[in-house]
């Protein structure tokens, strides 16, 4: 269901509740009005009955036949008004009570008739008239009191129902809003987190959002994009690696040609001077050939190590050894670019827990960047030291090249950020950052435009056992 539909539905639900409350309140009011109407009628009846009893009293006091006639008139009036209000009275007190009332009125009327016929002397007829009048008055007062009480009850109940309904609507509205916002905001928060992760180079997927609304579509599109970026990143990293290998090839060719030339020259000299060479000299020649093939093997191995796919294989390692091995890869580039390289390798450094190939890759990146920052040659200082308090070994790669402008500094580790135009993929430092973070280490940069840059890598000290 779309968010729009959800909003419409929840609003419609709240509206329906409000209409329901209004309807119930209206109905209760109607009932209360009816009851009040009857209380009014009952009051009229009571007043009539009171007058009848007063006339009755006059009859006893003055033995006046006019008094009985007045009662009869009142009874006739009352019957008339009962007949005209019958529908309302039935609705208020019920058929049974009305029948009873009419019966008692009839009995009273008969008693009045008897009194008139029987004259003043018969005390039993008098007695009966008195009794019937009393009964009629009592019954009338009884149902009037009852109806009054019922009207009060209905008002109280209406009040209570209204209160309950208001509370329910209030709670329901809160619940519906909370549910909707929780679902929508929850999904949005997940998307926000994933977007942040992507901007820091982690192409994570968003899990747990399965709704079929707009957010569901956004999440689906987002996951597809994330997946594609991840695939694309791997392709680009591979391309970058191939490009690095291309850059390295010139240096590597030089590294390979020298030992090959040495072997070739030994072989030619050996052949030429074979007869005049002593046994010791021949053995020395062969030993040198063996030494040169070892050199070639090392160069080829370094090249293979560098181009190996990225898989962290953490082992105990000596940082200085890793740096020296890296330098064999880039030494020629440094020489060609007229870079004065100085090593300040700390002695008695603790070992670190790293994938040496990946750290070499990071160092090659940093050194190649440094070379590119020093167009017309310069000085490269590589320093290793122990950070006593933090449990890290630090590697600092410092150049005196053109430096990084302050506005670019916060972005140098962002994927696809490059100051090299078409020459850079913007991935070198981002990949380096990822590798160092995978090692639970840190990498930071300190740079001043025109004065040079210093990249510092912190690698965790090896603590023994399988995990560093």
Partner 1 sequence: MDKFRVMVIDDEKIVGDMAKLSLEQEGYEVETFLNGAPALKRLEDVRFDVVVTDLKMKGIDGMEVLRTVKSLYPDTKVIMITAFANLDAAIEALRNEVHDFFPKPVKIKELKASIARAIKK
Residues 385-414 that bind partner 1 (CB under 8 A): none
Q: Tell me the closest approach of the beta carbon of residue 266 to partner 1, in angstroms.
A: 6
Strand partners, 316: 353
Query: Within 13 Å of residue 371, how many CA atoms lie on the same side as its CB?
Result: 20
As a whole number of angstroms, the distance between CA 460 and CA 387 comes to: 10
Q: What is the dihedral of CA 380, 384, 387, 393, to 10 degrees?
A: 120
Using the rule CB under 8 A, is 168 a contact of partner 1? Answer: no
Q: Tell me the closest approach of the beta carbon of residue 333 to partner 1, in angstroms.
A: 11
Using the rule CB under 8 A, is 292 a contact of partner 1? Answer: yes
Residues 336-365 that bind partner 1 (CB under 8 A): 336
Using the rule CB under 8 A, is 257 a contact of partner 1? Answer: yes
| φ/ψ of residue 70, rounded to 5 | -60, -40
- 124 or 279: whose CB is closer to partner 1? 279
C-beta neighbour count of 71 within 10 angstroms:
26
| φ/ψ of residue 301, rounded to 5 | -65, -45
- 246 or 309: whose CB is closer to partner 1? 246
Cβ atoms of 289 and 266 closer than 8 Å: yes
Cβ atoms of 56 and 133 closer than 8 Å: yes
> Which of 152, 224, 238, 264 lies at the binding interface for partner 1 (CB under 8 A)?
264
Stretch that binds partner 1, among 6-14, 204-212, 253-261, 388-396 (CB under 8 A): 253-261
> Which of 28, 79, 223, 262 lies at the binding interface for partner 1 (CB under 8 A)?
262
3-state DSSP assignment of residue 300: helix
Stretch that binds partner 1, among 252-260, 359-367, 403-411, 449-457 (CB under 8 A): 252-260
Q: Tell me the closest approach of the beta carbon of residue 256 to partner 1, in angstroms.
A: 9
Q: Tell me the closest approach of the beta carbon of residue 270 to partner 1, in angstroms.
A: 9
* Residue 97 to residues 18, 47, 90, 92, 102, Cα–Cα distance (Å): 38, 19, 8, 10, 9
- DSSP assigned state of 350: P
Using the rule CB under 8 A, is 288 a contact of partner 1? Answer: yes
As a whole number of angstroms, the distance between CA 8 and CA 5 comes to: 5
- Residue linked to tokens 């020649």: 285
- Residue linked to tokens 């007829």: 125
Stretch that binds partner 1, among 150-158, 232-240, 250-258, 452-460 (CB under 8 A): 250-258
> Which of 221, 253, 286, 312 lies at the binding interface for partner 1 (CB under 8 A)?
253
Please give the angle made by the CA atoms of 141, 143 and 147, to the nearest 5 degrees. Answer: 115
Using the rule CB under 8 A, is 261 a contact of partner 1? Answer: yes
Residues 322-341 that bind partner 1 (CB under 8 A): 335-336
- What sign does the CA torsion over 433, 435, 439, 440 have? positive
Q: Could you tell me the two tokens for 35?
A: 């009851």
Q: Tell me the closest approach of the beta carbon of residue 295 to partner 1, in angstroms.
A: 10
Q: Residues binding partner 1: what is the number (CB under 8 A)?
A: 21
- 177 or 269: whose CB is closer to partner 1? 269
- 251 or 415: whose CB is closer to partner 1? 251
Interface with partner 1 by CB under 8 A: which residues?
250, 253-254, 257-258, 260-266, 268-269, 272-273, 276, 288, 292, 335-336
């Amino acid at each position: 269901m779309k968010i729009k539909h959800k909003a419409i539905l929840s609003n419609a639900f709240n509206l329906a509740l409000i209409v329901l409350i209004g309807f119930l309140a209206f109905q209760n009011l109607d009932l209360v009005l009816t009851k009040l109407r009857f209380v009014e009628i009952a009051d009229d009846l009571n007043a009539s009955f009171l007058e009848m009893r007063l006339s009755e009293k006059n009859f006893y006091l003055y033995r006046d036949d006019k008094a009985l006639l007045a009662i009869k008139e009142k009874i006739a009036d009352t019957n008339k008004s009962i007949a005209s209000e019958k529908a309302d009275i039935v609705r208020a007190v019920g058929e049974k009570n009305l029948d009873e009332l009419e019966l008692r009125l009839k009995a009273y009327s008969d008693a009045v008739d008897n009194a008139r016929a029987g004259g003043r002397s018969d005390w039993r007829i008098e007695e009966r008239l008195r009794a019937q009048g009393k009964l009629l008055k009592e019954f009338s007062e009884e149902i009037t009191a009852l109806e009054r009480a019922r009207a009060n009850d209905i008002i109280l109940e209406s009040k209570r129902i209204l209160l309950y309904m208001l509370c329910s609507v209030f709670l329901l509205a809160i619940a519906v809003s909370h549910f909707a916002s929780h679902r929508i905001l929850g999904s949005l928060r997940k998307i926000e987190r994933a977007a942040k992760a992507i901007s820091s180079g982690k192409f994570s997927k968003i899990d747990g959002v399965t709704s079929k609304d707009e957010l569901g579509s956004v999440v689906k599109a987002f996951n597809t994009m994330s997946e594609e970026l991840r695939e694309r990143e791997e392709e680009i990293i591979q391309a970058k690696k191939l490009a690095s290998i291309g850059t390295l090839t010139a240096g590597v060719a030089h590294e390979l040609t020298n030992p090959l030339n040495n072997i070739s020259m030994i072989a030619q000299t050996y052949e030429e001077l074979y007869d005049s060479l002593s046994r010791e000299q021949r053995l020395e020649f062969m030993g040198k050939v063996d030494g040169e093939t070892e050199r070639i093997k090392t160069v080829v191995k370094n090249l293979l190590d560098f181009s190996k796919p990225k898989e962290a294989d953490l082992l105990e390692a000596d940082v200085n050894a890793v740096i020296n091995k890296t330098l064999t890869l880039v030494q020629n580039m440094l020489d060609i670019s007229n870079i004065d390289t100085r090593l300040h390798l700390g002695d008695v450094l603790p070992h670190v827990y790293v994938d040496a190939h990946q750290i070499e890759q990071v160092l090659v990146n940093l050194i190649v960047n440094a070379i590119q920052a020093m167009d017309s040659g310069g000085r490269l200082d590589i320093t290793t030291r122990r950070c006593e308090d933090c449990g890290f070994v630090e590697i600092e790669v410092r150049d005196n090249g053109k430096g990084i402008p302050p506005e670019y500094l916060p972005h140098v580790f962002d994927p696809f950020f490059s100051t090299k135009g078409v020459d850079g993929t913007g991935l070198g430092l981002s990949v380096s950052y990822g590798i160092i973070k995978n090692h639970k280490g840190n990498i930071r940069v300190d740079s001043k435009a025109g004065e040079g840059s210093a990249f510092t890598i912190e690698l965790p000290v090896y603590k023994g056992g399988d995990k560093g």
